[in-house]
Amino acid sequence: MTSAAPSSLLAALLDTALAAGREILDVYAAPIAVTTKADASPVTEADERAEAVILARLAEIAPDVPVVAEESVAAGKVPATADRFFLVDPLDGTKEFISRNGEFTVNIALVENGVPVAGVVYAPALGRMFAGEGASAWSADVAEGACGALKPMAVRRAPAGGLTVVGSRSHGSPETDAFVGRYEVAEYRSAGSSLKFCLVACGEADLYPRFGRTMEWDTAAGDAVLRAAGGRVVNPDGTPFLYGKRDQGHDVDFANGFFVAASADVAVAG
């Protein structure tokens, strides 16, 4: 891991996330109207407004790079993807947004050759920003819509007294419990959205196993941040966890299988 300065692209993605966050908080401040998509998942005005801002900004920042965004895909707008594309979840943790617990995020990631190489995760209600690209990761506090100084961050070494494991606040599973049972665990924390990746990335947790269905836009930004902070995201057998999955046969385009996110020295059995 290094502490290089953020590229101009990452700086633009940070500004884009902040702009999306302003739209989200505007909706968050009023009574929240919820509708249901075809897959029975909830969607709000905040999802739609945030995605519109992100798509407009990305069209200016990188007009030749395709964008796979959650709400656009739900509406049937799925671009052709090549070796380089963006994955966007304008409001990850809609259930957290609706319940007003603050644990929702804006996720923007750049994927190259199946790997998330840059990403930002912004939790507007919590005032926390996380970013990563290459082998450098940062966190920052956000106050009144402005991002403070970016501070380098990295995963920690696994504590001798047991791991801190972080898991989904909304989606648990028996498979997750069985996997965690293989480790010495000092603490189990629940969190919503991509914050789970970021808690491992900033050294507040050590392991995040997910034995449940997710989509690529749910994970790519947090994955990019964690990899940049010195951690890793792999399939449960230890093989690479990749993006841009299409024509899978067993599931829809961009659907993820199970994965394990971990700090550098936490063993993941193969």
The enclosing domain of 237 has a CATH number of: 3.40.190.80
Question: Does the annotation flag 94 for ligand binding?
Answer: yes
Whether residue 124 sits in one domain with residue 183: no
- Residue 57 domain-assigned (yes or no): yes
* Domain-terminating residue out of 152, 171, 191: 152
- Based on the fold, state whether residues 51 and 127 are members of the same structural domain: yes
Residue 99 is predicted with a pLDDT of 92
What pLDDT is recorded for position 1? 56
**Run of H or E residues at 16:** helix 8-28
The answer to whether 147 and 129 have CB atoms below 8 angstroms apart is yes
**Are 144 and 181 found together in one domain?**
no
Residue type, 90: P
138-156 burial by CB neighbour count: b if 16+ within 10 A, else e?
A: bbbebeeeebeebeebbbb
What tokens does 194 get?
A: 């991509």
Instruction: Say yes or no: 101 and 125 in one domain.
Output: yes
Question: Whole-prediction pTM value?
Answer: 0.95
For 79, the token pair is: 């671009």
Q: Which of 152, 186, 203 is the last residue of a domain?
A: 152
Residue 171 and residue 141 share a domain: no
Looking at residue 40, what is its pLDDT?
A: 72
Is 39 within any annotated ligand binding site? no
Our CA dihedral for 133, 218, 167, 1, rounded to 10 degrees, sits at -10
For the chain, counts of helices (H) and of strands (E):
7, 17
From first to last of the 270 residues of the chain, give the pLDDT tens digit: 556 789 999 999 999 999 999 999 999 999 888 888 877 788 899 999 999 999 999 999 999 999 999 999 999 999 999 899 999 999 999 889 999 999 999 999 999 999 999 999 999 999 999 999 999 999 999 999 999 999 999 999 999 999 999 987 666 678 888 899 999 999 999 998 999 999 999 999 999 999 998 999 999 999 999 999 999 999 999 999 999 999 998 999 999 999 999 999 998 865
108 and 38 together in one domain: yes
CA distance 200 to 77: 33
Is 93 annotated to bind ligand? yes
Q: Alpha-carbon distance 61 to 131, whole Å?
A: 17
Structural domain that includes position 17: 8-152
Residue in the structure block whose two tokens are 């997710």: 214
Gap between the Cα atoms of 52 and 75, Å rounded: 13
On whether both 98 and 170 belong to a single domain, the answer is no
In 3D, which of 260, 253, 147 has the Cα closest to residue 196?
A: 260
Among 113, 89, 94, 63, CA closest to 222: 89
User: Final residue of a domain: which of 117, 152, 187?
Assistant: 152
CB 210 within 8 A of CB 260: yes
Name the domain count of the chain. 2
One domain for residues 127 and 241: no
Residue 2 covered by a domain? no
Is 143 in the same domain as 14? Answer: yes
The answer to the question of residue 32 being in a domain is yes
Same domain, 19 and 138: yes
Instruction: Tell me if 158 is assigned to some domain.
Output: no
